[in-house]
A and B are shown apart, each in its own frame.
Chain A
Amino acid sequence: EAGVAQSPRYKIIEKRQSVAFWCNPISGHATLYWYQQILGQGPKLLIQFQNNGVVDDSQLPKDRFSAERLKGVDSTLKIQPAKLEDSAVYLCASSLDTGPGEQFFGPGTRLTVL
């Protein structure tokens, strides 16, 4: 079974530029999560989708971050404009449902903002 796919794996941009990340979850997984992991910390949930609807985006900085999952499968996370403090690894995860099921993580995209 293929795992969660993410691209790109690495991205370097200058502050105030825009960047987008892509995630393809495990086939059949209804729930998709985007996490931000700052160096030396655990992942922090940014947004959770159930199919193509948002379940939780309470920790998403909506002035600069946006995410969509239009067809209920793959998803994109965008940052516009980026700040230095956005440097982090952005992890995508998926699970079968929103209950106590396992979340499977992708390899992440490492973003460096200069």
Chain B
Amino acid sequence: GQQLNQSPQSMFIQEGEDVSMNCTSSSIFNTWLWYKQDPGEGPVLLIALYKAGELTSNGRLTAQFGITRKDSFLNISASIPSDVGIYFCAGRRIQGAQKLVFGQGTRLTINP
């Protein structure tokens, strides 16, 4: 089953608002990734984090790799209609296989 707890499951916001979502795990991860998936498409990588404490931005998106290596968050500033979609966190564990484990996703809906 899923090993990453992503919250919130859904968000309904007004255009222009800031958005924050996070992902937590009981296990340590050595890589955190944030993806966005539009309907009928595969996930697209937004931000990749490789070091604990790392803070990385991509335009209006900012993500951080938690110091404990067990969490990460994604912030979107000044949301616009094209930000609508499902956001997934994904992690790669230190121990075990190098495969990616995905969270359940956060569905973002924006009211214009």
Instruction: Report A's interface with B, CB cutoff 8 A.
Output: 4, 33, 40-45, 48, 55-56, 58, 91, 93, 98-100, 102-108, 110
Chain A hits for B92, CB < 8 A: 100
CB distance from B101 to the nearest CB of A (A): 8
6 CB < 8 A contacts A-B:
A40-B105, A42-B88, A48-B99, A55-B98, A98-B98, A105-B43
Partner of B97, one of A41, A42, A58, A104: A58
Chain A hits for B97, CB < 8 A: 56, 58
Partner of A106, one of B2, B4, B42: B42
Q: Is the CB of B43 within 8 A of A56?
A: no
Interface check B48, CB cutoff 8 A = yes
**CA gap between A107 and B93 in the complex, in Å:** 26
Chain B hits for A58, CB < 8 A: 97
Instruction: Report B's interface with A, CB cutoff 8 A.
Output: 2, 4, 6, 30-31, 40-45, 48, 50, 88, 90, 92, 97-100, 102-105
Interface of A is mostly: loop
Partner of A103, one of B4, B41, B45, B103: B45
Q: Is the CB of B45 within 8 A of A40?
A: no
The chain A residue with its CB closest to the CB of B44 is A105
With A100-B31, A100-B50, A102-B48 as contacts: A43 and B43 at CB distance below 8 Å: yes
Q: Is the CB of B42 within 8 A of A105?
A: yes
The 3 A-B pairs at the shortest CB distance, nearest first, are namely A42-B102, A105-B42, A45-B99
Chain B hits for A102, CB < 8 A: 45, 48
The chain A residue with its CB closest to the CB of B45 is A102
The chain B residue with its CB closest to the CB of A102 is B45
With A43-B102, A56-B97 as contacts: A107 and B41 at CB distance below 8 Å: yes
